[in-house]
A and B are shown apart, each in its own frame.
Chain A
């Protein structure tokens, strides 16, 4: 990736202008035409480098205050099937497989965001029944210590929020 492409990605991701012609504005900053910027964005969308042009909302502000990380202990031969099944629930926002460690035997991780804890528990019960896994932990967050945007291509990215 060239330095110009790195700057382009940085501007698109962390510095997107709220103006009528945002791609023209970004083009000015990185020395490209509006058409070239749009062509690059299309290319990145196709390659999956950009997942989408969208927004991330602060969940507390939209009422989703209960944040549960559910960790599941799944037999290795069932990880694929159970992972897909858990991911298929609309209430599950993230579903990752992680390697277990001797002191932490959990290998599937799901996130659930809801307005209230009881709702999280209700969903967890349904998930557990659907996949037939009883070995799990629900770790609710009690405090947000940091939440910032990824700092790409910066030596020691100064600007974390």
Chain B
């Protein structure tokens, strides 16, 4: 089923902005959030469910720092002949450890993906297998050396208040 672009109301934007700023570890976190945006708890939970179903909310809950629980990640690029992208993407995407994969505009390195795994050995094994299965040997493996910032907070209300920015968990490599 093709994904439809969601139509967000002003109330949705307020709700999503508040959600991005985070909720508290209290027994009724959504009641607290509802009070902030002037909704009832029941209406807020119902709307969150819909927004999740619509795909507007990709994930809700605890944003885990993968490094702190022993995971390690890397960014990789592969030089794929454009015609082979679908087939090569299928190989890359078959690994649950691959969390993101994008086609990017570059004359050589056009497929960029992140791997998140419990060990460097597992990452190297996945890269070896991808090379073997696709026959593509021109690749980059670029593990992060230092993180200066991880934060994705979409400015939904046109304000520039980013004090409570939410990091993008998908990028936790």
Contacts and interface: CB of A to CB of B under 8 A. Distances in A.
Interface of A: 1, 9, 12-16, 18-24, 34, 38, 41-42, 44-45, 47-64, 67, 69, 83-84, 86-87, 90, 92-99, 101, 103-104, 109, 111, 113, 137, 139-152, 154, 156-160
Most interface-central of A14, A48, A96, A156 (chain B CB within 10 A): A96
A56 B116 CA distance: 18
A51 B170 CA distance: 13
A60 B4 CA distance: 11
A20 B70 CA distance: 32
A82 to B, nearest CB: 9
B48 interface: yes
A71 B161 CA distance: 27
B96 to A, nearest CB: 4
Contact of B41 (A20, A137, A139): A20
Contact of B63 (A1, A13, A62, A146): A13
Nearest to A22: B29
Interface of B: 5-6, 8, 16, 19-31, 41, 45, 48-49, 52, 54-66, 68-71, 75, 77, 85, 89, 92-93, 96-106, 109, 111-113, 116, 140, 142-154, 156, 160, 162, 166-172
Contacts of A20: 28, 30-31, 41, 45
| CB-CB nearest 8 A-B residue pairs | A16-B61, A12-B62, A87-B149, A157-B96, A87-B148, A146-B101, A95-B148, A145-B101
Contacts of A101: 140, 142
Contacts of B140: 101, 103-104
Nearest to A100: B142
Contacts of A92: 149
25 contacts: A9-B64, A13-B61, A18-B52, A19-B45, A41-B25, A42-B25, A50-B62, A53-B25, A53-B29, A54-B23, A54-B167, A55-B16, A55-B59, A55-B60, A56-B166, A57-B154, A58-B58, A86-B148, A93-B168, A95-B148, A109-B75, A143-B103, A145-B92, A146-B92, A150-B172
The prevalent SS among residues of B at the interface is mixed
A62 B8 contact: yes
Majority secondary structure, A binding face: mixed
Nearest to A88: B149
A15 B61 contact: yes
B127 to A, nearest CB: 14
Contacts of A60: 5
A33 to B, nearest CB: 11
A147 B139 CA distance: 20
Nearest to B16: A57
B152 A56 contact: yes
Contacts of A151: 96-97
Contact of B27 (A23, A61, A99): A23
B19 A96 contact: no
Given A55-B16, A61-B56, A113-B152, A98 B75 contact: yes
